[in-house]
A and B are shown apart, each in its own frame.
Chain A
């Protein structure tokens, strides 16, 4: 028998703040998390700005930060988010003797987590030491000598993408199914979807699901700048992320960590946990088209949306709001709009859609979870987040993008979309929890 999957806790550390209320308040009041880059000197890069998490200290949330020494930024963000989510859900953290009556072997973890930044000094100085500029060859002996002196075991290890999940395991004592995936910008949506499938099947009672990522470092930004995926609106960082606008010129690189607690309805009710929403649909597909581009007819995105609707047993008429991937790149926003029109047909223009990335940027692997949290808040508050900076509508994009101010309306069923490089498409559907299913 399939279990119903409910959300009983959430937490976020993102460019708009270090918890869910602060993020939501920022979204409602038109704040931007975008500013000149401070984590490294980006002044000569094509892009000089990003959406950084500011003034964050892991000891705001974690009692024993030493246990997480040298952890990468993504790990640190997701630790804070996990403490918040566990607290809300009533899951004990940082204790060998939990009193929450949760079987640790039925408590799992599923993150969409990115790699940490390279140790730049070690990485670059080893190359410089070994490179022979005269004949363009590498002297591996010299490279090795420098690498052995400069590379640090712990800092190298903490770059591994499975480390955020390890830190959450230490934090919570989880011994259930634990996975970490990295499907580019769709990673945490996919992690939440797959975690929901695990809960639905009863293989775990509770899954800590979410994302962790920071690519705001020299090589990360290099990669995106070379792809010309980033906005270069250096004279106006706070208006640079402008999804669905005619003048959009790329996404704004952000960072963060986010967690939702997924749980069987039975477990949540037994524990007396507050149910924030129910997760009813997951659709996942692969474009199988090109390494570099989305499918022109949004084949994969359409398939994932339809699969999610079917999984949730709802029709397009039932969807009150779509939280888009809405990156502010020319390609994504056009093709995503096409996908929505294809799936929703005549109904497309009457479904409000928006992109919180206009305010907190693109958190890459962590973005899907942060956005799903905004969907839960939309249901709680009956208010839809806006698409900020949408002052030059693109005549070719004609959906209801909720421009520039949030909207009060009844919100019961919501779709959240994430798409990633390589043709990764993942879509979730959540709904207001209303007790017994009709």
Chain B
């Protein structure tokens, strides 16, 4: 007997706010969170734009017992902790963080699977130590081994281990079941959510947090995107117009930071506590793009096709039953075209009637968080039977003739698909369904 897995809560930090509600309202209103970078002075950067999470005070976002541990939090960890709080609160579950005396979860039956990026260290934190290891203007490894190294804070490494995102969340909410950290670049959280679903389905947990977080607005990480030629460099004066997925005038993507968390529950567990069920996860899959040039998808998006087909098969539906697709849609012309080719190959003529809603033009490309953010938006769209506008889509690029909405609209949505691919090759697809008791 298969255990069904439903979504009962969503939480997010993004360029559109510190909650999933703000993310959804912002997207529905067509708001753009992309602005000039505040985290550092991007003056010499070819692209000086990003999607940044608004200010917060991390010490106020954790229980008293965990305040000291905030010193060990990189920004990736902070924004993930805040998103997890938002998700748990929205689900109505009571965890140790909310009320230690009256928790409604069993810690050992609660799991977490989280997508994380390659966390780059804080340059301004390490710079004073590097300063101690310079001879004649050059880095001196021997001085580093003595003076430089010794001046770094002892627990330095622990801020930058990717598994520290779910580790902190696990301590705060007392999650003692399986905990995994998926590091598959820009499909990390798609895959983490798929695995969280599996943890419940195979009866290793009744509740699981699935999601991901990444704070890409670090000079090293942003410089990588510039060097990879992935960024739009022509729109520094028009941040809101910079990222144009599937549009004929697309010139590149804009990167940013976010974290997203879904509360997943086994159906009977959710029903027993009268939880509000937002949607059901019915199909997940992943595959590989085998382009020897790993900086782009295969032209026909074959690796993406395989993942989407398998996810549809697992959902036991035909392609024309999908009502909404949240695609990767980066604004990088080559990849958008390949993704559109993959969608056309899988959906055939029915692609014309399926709404496609790319959201990176508003929230930016948030790497390991992107899949979770997409899933949250798809869940909300199903809940409200509504989709919002896709900003900056005016004229379809050649090959990208998709049914992209340019205004907010009511929409009957029974099934939605989120799909993604990583810079490096992994692909993923997830199908979610409007919840019906007798499926």
Using a CB–CB cutoff of 8 Å, the interface residues on chain A facing chain B are: 40-46, 67, 105, 109, 113, 115, 120-121, 123-125, 127-128, 130-131, 133, 136, 138, 140-141, 143-145, 147-148, 151-153, 156-157, 159-163, 165-166, 169-170, 173-184, 190, 194, 197-198, 201, 218-219, 222-228, 284-292, 299-300, 303, 307, 420-424
Contacts and interface: CB of A to CB of B under 8 A. Distances in A.
A222 B152 contact: yes
Contacts, number: 266
A144 B43 contact: yes
A112 B275 CA distance: 35
Nearest to A136: B128
Contacts of B198: 194, 197-198, 201
* B72, B168, B176 interface centre (most CB from chain A within 10 Å): B176
A236 to B, nearest CB: 20
B44 A140 contact: yes
B1 to A, nearest CB: 12
B424 interface: yes
A133 B130 CA distance: 10
A169 B290 contact: yes
Interface in B157-207: 157-158, 160-164, 166-168, 170-171, 174-185, 188, 191, 195, 198, 202, 204
Contacts of A177: 285-287
* A130, A163, A183, A218 interface centre (most CB from chain B within 10 Å): A183
Interface of B: 40-45, 69, 72, 107-108, 112, 116, 118, 121, 123-124, 126-128, 130-131, 133-134, 137-139, 141-146, 149, 152-158, 160-164, 166-168, 170-171, 174-185, 188, 191, 195, 198, 202, 204, 219-220, 223-224, 226-229, 285-288, 290, 292, 294-295, 303, 306, 310, 422-426
- Nearest 4 pairs between A and B by C-beta? A223-B157, A44-B145, A422-B167, A286-B179
Contacts of A133: 131
Given A156-B224, A225-B149, A292-B155, A105 B131 contact: no
Contacts of A218: 141, 144
A183 B180 contact: yes
A288 to B, nearest CB: 4
Contacts of A299: 176
Given A127-B126, A161-B118, A169-B290, A226 B183 contact: no
B195 to A, nearest CB: 7
8 contacts: A41-B145, A124-B133, A131-B130, A169-B288, A170-B425, A226-B153, A227-B155, A290-B171
Contacts of B40: 138, 140
Contacts of A176: 287
Contacts of A290: 69, 171
A4 to B, nearest CB: 15
Contact of B183 (A124, A151, A161): A161
Contacts of B188: 162
B251 to A, nearest CB: 18
A181 B181 contact: yes
* A178, A183, A292, A420 interface centre (most CB from chain B within 10 Å): A178
Contact of B286 (A143, A179, A292): A179
B426 A162 contact: yes
A184 B183 contact: no
